[in-house]
């Protein structure tokens, strides 16, 4: 990897990777729809709206690998999700195909499988059960990555991110949290591992309370350095006495499942 593009570089994960990957690859190309900090040595900064194929083709030109973080990062109305996360992801993959990009790391989400009950431990082979329009867009990204891997030979690592940040902030995140340095490790595996064609892994640290069997990530060499348990006592104490939504507590997707929920019988 000589030149690596990060889409969505203005978001929390993008800003973190900008720092942690700065001296790993000779050139980082950073793109977002919002203004970014000025380019430093070894950086290129640009602007692109993912729904604009011509603009996406400009930012993808001459890159070897892509970390695709761009798009709407939570639930929203259908039209914004459609343009940013579905049309935008198609545009990025198609531009990458035309530019002969070798690898793409895709930030998908736990919300692509959010309607699995919390007592079910799931792996990368489960059928998607999205919990929201946002989750549908992430399941679409995984399916489209599979097509572009099989038909065009681009190597994809789809990372079903749980919750990224310096520490877990509530009880649910004790199960799905990933630290910045652990996510950096996954990104590097996705860009550098010699044998990746199409893989799904969970973007989580070594959490004792995890709902995920992440053996596929471990098979690729992932060795998380962090875990949520040191934060558990404080997190649980802060949550004591708070009201609980039974739908949010039943499913792995939490409040994404509970929002707009109208089923008479809970899904199994």
Q: What is the mean pLDDT of each run of 10 residues along the chain (268 residues)?
A: 97 98 97 94 95 97 98 97 98 98 98 98 98 98 98 98 97 97 98 97 98 98 98 94 92 97 88
CATH number at residue 88: 3.40.50.720
Query: CA torsion 71→123→258→157, rounded to 10°?
Result: 0
Confidence (pLDDT) at 111 = 98
In a domain, 40, yes or no: yes
In a domain, 218, yes or no: yes
Confidence (pLDDT) at 242 = 86
Name the residue range of residue 103's domain: 3-258
- Which residue, chain included where needed, has tokens 């720092």? 19
In a domain, 73, yes or no: yes
Give the total number of structural domains in the chain.
1
Instruction: Give the bridge partners for 135, in sequence order.
Output: none
In a domain, 58, yes or no: yes
In a domain, 171, yes or no: yes
CB burial of 122-147 (b: ≥16 within 10 Å; e: otherwise) equals bebeeebbbbbbbbbbbbbbbebbee
Confidence (pLDDT) at 174 = 98
Confidence (pLDDT) at 267 = 81
From its phi and psi, is residue 168 left (phi > 0), alpha (psi between -120 and 50) or beta?
A: beta
134 is catalytic: yes
pTM of the model: 0.96
Confidence (pLDDT) at 243 = 87
In a domain, 264, yes or no: no
In a domain, 266, yes or no: no
In a domain, 240, yes or no: yes
Q: Which of 134, 202, 212, 251 is catalytic?
A: 134
């Amino acid at each position: 990897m000589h030149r690596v593009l990060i889409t969505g570089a203005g978001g929390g994960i993008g800003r973190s990777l900008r720092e942690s990957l700065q001296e790993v690859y000779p050139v980082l190309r950073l793109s977002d729809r919002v203004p970014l900090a000025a380019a430093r040595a070894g950086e290129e900064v640009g602007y692109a709206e993912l729904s604009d194929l011509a603009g996406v083709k400009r930012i993808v030109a001459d890159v070897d690998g892509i970390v695709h973080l761009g798009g709407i990062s939570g639930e929203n109305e259908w039209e914004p999700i459609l343009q940013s996360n579905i049309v935008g992801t198609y545009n990025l993959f198609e531009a990458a195909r035309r530019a002969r990009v070798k690898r793409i790391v895709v930030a998908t989400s736990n919300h692509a499988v959010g309607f699995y009950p919390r007592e079910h431990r799931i792996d990368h082979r489960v059928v998607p059960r999205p919990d929201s329009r946002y989750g549908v867009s992430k399941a679409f990204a995984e399916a489209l990555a599979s097509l572009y891997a099989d038909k065009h030979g681009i190597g994809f690592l789809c990372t079903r991110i749980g919750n990224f940040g310096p520490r877990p902030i509530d009880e649910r995140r004790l199960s799905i949290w990933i630290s910045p340095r652990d996510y950096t490790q996954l990104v590097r595996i996705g860009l550098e591992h010699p044998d990746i064609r199409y893989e799904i892994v969970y973007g989580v640290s070594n959490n004792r309370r995890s709902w995920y069997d992440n053996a596929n990530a471990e098979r690729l060499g992932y060795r998380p350095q962090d875990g949520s348990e040191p934060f558990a006592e404080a997190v649980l104490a802060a949550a004591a006495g708070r009201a609980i939504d039974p739908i949010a507590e039943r499913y792995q997707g939490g409040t994404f499942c509970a929002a707009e929920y109208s089923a008479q019988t809970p899904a199994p």
